[in-house]
Structure 1
Amino acid sequence: MPLNLPIFLTWLRIVLIPLIVGIYYLPNIICTLQNKNKIAAAIFTLAALTDWFDGFLARKLNQTSVFGAFLDPVADKLMVTATLLILVQLFRLDAAVALVIVGREIAISALREWMAHVGASERVAVNFLGKFKTVCQMIAIPMLLYYAPISILGWFAVNTRVLGAMLLYLAALLTICSMLYYMKLAWPQIRDRTSC
């Protein structure tokens, strides 16, 4: 297993997941819900930044690897799934929305693995729609973890509950659209392999 700075950052992202979950299991006498929300949102934001930074460094330092390409999406999916489950448990997200997002991740991961097995992985490479969906998720989730107004420059407040929910519903819609797009790209291979 190679170990370099990009892979270290990916492992750091995985290590941060139990911290985001665990903070909500602290007794309220030790940490109030408001403080739990702030800490969880900060940890998630840090983890999301490592997601961008590890890919940037891997390309910049020419430290891309097969293991890194495998571990990075696993870390992302673990992080998003864990936080979506927390949001459902806190009644800040409908379970159906979480199921759509997590279900799509499982389905597309399986599709990519199968396409790689048949030698056509380039047909389902990440595209703009999938990247935009990820950006919406990575902004929405810390907002829903924070779950309180954020004052900007002391005069403008952002309602993170409303904006976070809107962005996550948009992410769910983009999730469905991107899944259909990937299925359309993969369909010729699926049809050819299943018709034999």
Structure 2
Amino acid sequence: MTLLRLFIIPYLVIEILAGQYRFAFALFLLAGVSDGMDGLLARWLEQRTTLGLYLDPIADKLLLSTLFLVLTHVGLIPQYVTVLVFSRDFGILLIATLLFATGTLRDFRPSLLGKANTLVQIVGLTVILAEKVFRTGSPELEMVSVGLLKGIAMLAPVSAAQYAWIVIRRISGPAQESVAG
């Protein structure tokens, strides 16, 4: 199912660039449902693999990052929001890679703010795509969309700072200390 999400990404981009938001929205929902089903099946069948452990979050991040890029390209997301999202993700990836490569730290569970950040991103992208599909022109929905984008812009650097703080504490503290959330 993770491979299905990866397979969906280029078609999602093609549909958005072609202005086919209904199909793009359907693909995005399919990716979300497959992610949820993948997680439920893995827990239910108690089948967790090392490949899945790494590939699943990569697929999720690629899906979200690609959507931020393409929706910024077509003018639906302000550039500053995408820059903040990518800066956060690049910084975390760089730090995690360095710590993993040096053997300093190998447990990179997401923080509570990191999970909140991802949730707000998913909801924000869903609302933005839904606006294009349903073309409501609703000022209320536009306010929700703008609020979500501002929330994403705020949570990205704050969750990156929390992640850095947790890493610093874990490196300098006892080995058994764990990430909150």
Tell me which interval the TM-score lies in, with the shorter structure as reference length.
Answer: 0.7 to 0.9
- For residues 62 and 38 of structure 1, the distance between their equivalents in structure 2, rounded to whole angstroms, comes to 35
Match for 1:20: what amino acid?
Answer: L
Number of the residue aligned with 2:78: 94
What CA RMSD, in Å, does the superposition of the two structures yield over aligned residues?
A: 2.5
Which protein shows a greater Rg?
1
- How does 1:30-179 map onto structure 2 within 5 Å? 33=19, 36-117=20-101, 118-122=103-107, 124-148=108-132, 159-179=140-160
Query: Shift of the alpha carbon at 1:89?
Result: 1.5
Flag the structure with more relative contact order, 1 or 2, with Cα contacts below 8 A and sequence separation at least 6: 2
Change (3 A) 1:187 1:170: same
TM-score (norm 2): 0.81
Judge conservation of contact 2:2–2:34 (CA < 8 Å) in 1: yes
TM-score (norm 1): 0.75
Change (3 A) 1:51 1:161: farther
Q: Which runs of 5+ in 1 are unaligned?
A: 1-8, 27-32, 152-156
- For residues 51 and 44 of structure 2, the distance between their equivalents in structure 1, rounded to whole angstroms, comes to 17
Match for 1:142: what amino acid?
Answer: T
Aligned residues: 170
For residues 64-122 of structure 1, give each alpha carbon's deviation from its aligned partner in whole angstroms, at most 9, with x where no partner exists: 11111111111111111111112111211111110111221121122223333324233
Change (3 A) 1:40 1:158: farther
